[in-house]
Structure 1
Amino acid sequence: MLAGVRVVTAALFVGVLAGCNPGVTAGGDAKPSLPVQDKGAGQGAPGAPALPGLSTAAVARTQLAGLKVAGQQAMTGYSRAKFTHWTGQGDACDTREVVLERSGKDVKRDSECKAVSGTWVSVYDGVTVTDAAKLDIDHMVPLANAWRSGAGAWTAERRKEFANDLTRPQLLAVSAATNRSKGDQGPDEWQPPARAYWCTYATAWTNVKATYQLTVTEAEKAKLTEMLETCS
């Protein structure tokens, strides 16, 4: 009889515990499960670095709905040189080196602020890189795409800010191969090979275009909508 009481008591205790903490199950190991997060605010790939200024997917959807839809403008007058980069960021470092440092693990620099060692995860393809020379700093919204979306009318200072923006999800270190495969294409023309990163990619792209009030094409908006649907 006493044994039966003990069993019932134990069962009741586990039931109460599970009710107070959804991460604990009666048949589990009592370790709390990780909360389910909106991948729009996450990174979508193991080991991926956090992107500054990244919104939730819900915010990105609202931003996308408010973006002006228009055809691409002419490339007349375009030059990468009109988007001054990489600018100095203090301590002998430029924008590229700052992005490399924040995107990697155990990054060590030399006296000229060049990354001489470290480990990086290229979020576009999931490749782990240990040689900084094999990494490119990608502009989430490419300079040429920005030009076709309205940046052609900006001041030189505004283009410089855009090309060196460290406070928004505009700059990230990725494998040279994926960056060059992407080129200046929009989401409707190129998507990260790692599908798990689509949510973050679409969120970041939309955040940047909304911040800088750049336009999107019909095809671009449709693909961004599709990619945002991969978010939890």
Structure 2
Amino acid sequence: MGHQQGWWARGLAAVAVLAVGGCTAVDDPAAPRVSDAKPPVSSSTGAPGGGSDTGTLPGVPTAEQARAELGELKVAPHGSMSGYSRAKFPHWASQGESCDSRETVLERDGTNVTRDGECRAVSGRWVSVYDGKTFTDASDLDIDHMVPLANAWRSGANTWTQEKRKAFANDLTHPQLLAVSAASNRSKGDQGPDEWQPPSQTYWCTYARAWVSVKSTYELSVTENEKSTLTDMLGTCPS
């Protein structure tokens, strides 16, 4: 897939330009907010919300495109977790002007967001598309990797270079990063769509389209159960 290698090369070039600009990357894998070992949270249903539109999430394909991409994905059992570490997916990377990937997504996904001198969101309004809950405190939000890092590792990322894993963990071009409630993100953990779906069923169509797009872009495999569930979720999309 030459076109995919092309976008990745261009993305790395952009990262290099930012680095030359003198910005220090914020790549602290030990930060609690970005741990795959997400703590358990109490069950909370909340009111459905989020809608079936893509909102601020970039690069979401149509349902038809997603079905075609899903049909081309390699189907294989999960690989081993041997050697996995979040440190092998450095994040959150600098995006310039003292901002990192997390703060960039918070600004993109919120409304009336104001930042302090260190680019931290100090006010704003966010709606978590996973569960329809509204927040005005950025500390109540996590930045979710649509395809979790551990899931990516088990479906092909274990063979990647560190540089490519960093690009994956900080991808702002494809539908890989979004701001959601900490509770929903930690409930999801590193589970695939066959094990966890957003509580708000109206978001299932967008979720499946985004998941398939990321896996297709990065040539990651899917399990049989994962593919079956994604097919069902795509079935919730409007005709």
Give the SS at the match of 2:130.
coil
Structure 1 segments of 4 or more deviating over 4 A? none
Q: Does 1:147 align with 2:158?
A: no
- Verify the 8 A CA contact 1:44 1:199 in the aligned structure 2: no
**RMSD between superposed Cα atoms in Å:** 1.4
Task: Tell me, in whole angstroms, the C-alpha distance in 2 between the residues paired with 1:64 and 1:124.
Answer: 22
Change (3 A) 1:48 1:127: farther
Match for residue 191 of structure 2 among 185, 188, 211: 185
Match of 1:125 among 120, 123, 131: 131
1:138 and 2:138 aligned:
no
Q: 1:71 aligns with which of 68, 74, 77?
A: 77
1:37-74: CA deviations, max 9, x gaps? xxxxxx96189732111110100000000000000000
Q: Give percent identity, aligned residues only.
A: 68
The answer (yes or no) to whether the contact 1:83–1:163 under 8 Å persists in 2 is: yes
Counterpart of 1:160 in structure 2 is 166
SS of residue in 1 equivalent to 2:104: helix
TM-score by length of 1: 0.80
Change (3 A) 1:96 1:222: same
Letter in 2 for 1:131: D
Is 1:176 the counterpart of 2:188? The answer is no
Paired position in structure 2 for 1:54: 60
CA offsets per residue over residues 141-168 of structure 1, 9 Å max, x none?
Answer: 0000000000000000000000000000
Q: Please give the residue correspondences for 1:8-157 in structure 2 after superposition, counting only pairs within 5 Å.
A: 45=51, 49-157=55-163
Q: TM-score, normalised by structure 2?
A: 0.78
Q: Deviations over 1:4-50 (max 9, x none)?
A: xxxxxxxxxxxxxxxxxxxxxxxxxxxxxxxxxxxxxxx96189732
Tell which structure's C-alpha radius of gyration is larger: 1
Contact 2:193/2:230, CA 8 A, preserved across alignment:
yes
Aligned AA for 2:207? Y
Paired AA for residue 111 in structure 1:
G
SS in 2 for 1:97: helix
Who is 2:10 aligned against? none
Contact kept in structure 2, 1:48 and 1:121, CA below 8 Å: no
Deviation by residue 1:92-118 (Cα, 9 ceiling, x = unmatched): 000000000000000000000000000
Summarize the Cα distance change of 1:46–1:74 in structure 2 as closer, same or farther, 3 Å threshold.
closer
The structure, 1 or 2, with the larger RCO (C-alpha pairs under 8 Å, 6+ apart) is 2
